[in-house]
Amino acid sequence: MGKHEIRMRRQRLTTRGTDRFKNYGAVLKQHEEEKRMKKIVRVFTFFLLIVVVILLIVVVNKWEKKARVKKLPVTSYQLKVSARGEVNS
Amino acid sequence: MSEDEIRKEQEVIERSKKDPNAFGEIYEQYFDRIYNYLYRQTDDEELAGDLCSQTFVNALNHLGKYEFRGFPFSAWLYKIAGNEVNKHYRKNKGKKVFSIEELKVKELVEQSDEGWDEELITQVINYMNELPTDMVQVLELRFFEDKDFKEIAFILDMTESGAKMRTYRALDKLRTQFNIKVKYNG
């Protein structure tokens, strides 16, 4: 047995039976709905992309700042003050 | 379809790209044919009706991408309809059905030695059940939808020679296996 099934039909297909399925108004309505949904998804995706880009910029900036702080040379040195009030560097 | 008819149809398509209401003309023109094509592949009136509506919705949704390739617009609709059927069977994991009119088979096959009886019909059905599905699809489009090979190739995404080869192979088997003459020679 193949992946399909052949059925023999005695009656011929006529156009009369198809009338109850014919409704261009419904097709048009569904098309408009799908078009609107597509638009919403597109706008949402666009904003999501913008948010991701902004987040990426923020993360990169923070990471750069951290890296910069780590690289800063030590400019201060410890001062040791003895009990007698002498300052030793 | 004459060249003038195809040109007029293209004008309607171009109008429909800007105004979907104009597509109603195409809908009226092709609804029955697409419905029957879907019915032959589902054997279910309700399902064929749903798939037919979805076919026209998809056609409208992607009308902007449609390009004229020398075929009537119906070829594009058949292609979309075929995709809808395949999607349905993939989703439901069911066996693809081909509902064929007995009269059409009788028109195609001429008796030679024996009389056309129930036994022979059963044998032909069994034979067609054994054929690869793509071969049955080509036969269906060629004999029940009266499509030429160029159009069949476009609808089924195959080469023209591939479509011809599948048809001739199936018919040759039919001729030899059942000792019957097949009217078709083209």
pLDDT along chain B (186 residues), means of 10: 84 93 94 93 92 96 90 93 94 86 72 62 81 86 87 92 88 76 58
Whether residue A87 is predicted with pLDDT greater than 90 in this model: the reply is: no
Give the best-scoring range by mean pLDDT among A2-16, A63-77, B139-153.
B139-153
Let me know: does A8 contact B102? Beta carbons within 8 Å: yes
Q: How confident is the model at residue A84 (pLDDT cuts 50, 70, 90)?
A: low
Whether A11 contacts chain B with CB within 8 A: yes
Asked if the Cβ–Cβ distance from B31 to A17 is below 8 Å, we say no
- pLDDT at residue B34, as a whole number: 95
- 3-class SS of residue B70: coil
| Non-local CB neighbours of A71 within 8 Å, separated by 6+ positions | none
Whether A27 contacts chain B with CB within 8 A: yes
What is the distance between the alpha carbons of residues B85 and B91, in angstroms, rounded to a whole number? 10
Closest C-alpha to B96, from B128, B123, B122, B119: B128
Tokens at B66, concatenated:
């449609």
Whether residue A89 is predicted with pLDDT greater than 60 in this model: the reply is: no
Whether A5 contacts chain B with CB within 8 A: yes
Asked if the Cβ–Cβ distance from A17 to B45 is below 8 Å, we say yes
- pLDDT at residue A52, as a whole number: 97
What is the distance between the alpha carbons of residues B83 and B77, in angstroms, rounded to a whole number? 10
Q: How confident is the model at residue A57 (pLDDT cuts 50, 70, 90)?
A: very high
Lowest mean pLDDT among A24-28, A79-83, B27-31, B66-70: A79-83
Let me know: does B98 contact A4? Beta carbons within 8 Å: yes
Whether residue A1 is predicted with pLDDT greater than 60 in this model: the reply is: no
Closest C-alpha to B98, from A9, A12, A15: A9
What is the distance between the alpha carbons of residues B51 and B49, in angstroms, rounded to a whole number? 6
- pLDDT at residue B181, as a whole number: 64
Asked if the Cβ–Cβ distance from B53 to A2 is below 8 Å, we say no
Whether residue A45 is predicted with pLDDT greater than 90 in this model: the reply is: yes
Asked if the Cβ–Cβ distance from A10 to B102 is below 8 Å, we say yes
- pLDDT at residue B79, as a whole number: 95
Let me know: does B71 contact B155? Beta carbons within 8 Å: no
Query: Helices in chain B by DSSP H: which ranges?
Result: 3-18, 24-40, 45-61, 73-92, 102-108, 118-130, 133-139, 149-156, 160-178
Report how far apart, in Å, the C-alpha atoms of A89 and of each of A12, A75, A79 are: 107, 13, 5
Q: pTM, whole model, 2 decimals?
A: 0.80
Q: Which contiguous run of DSSP H or E holds residue A7? A: strand A4-9
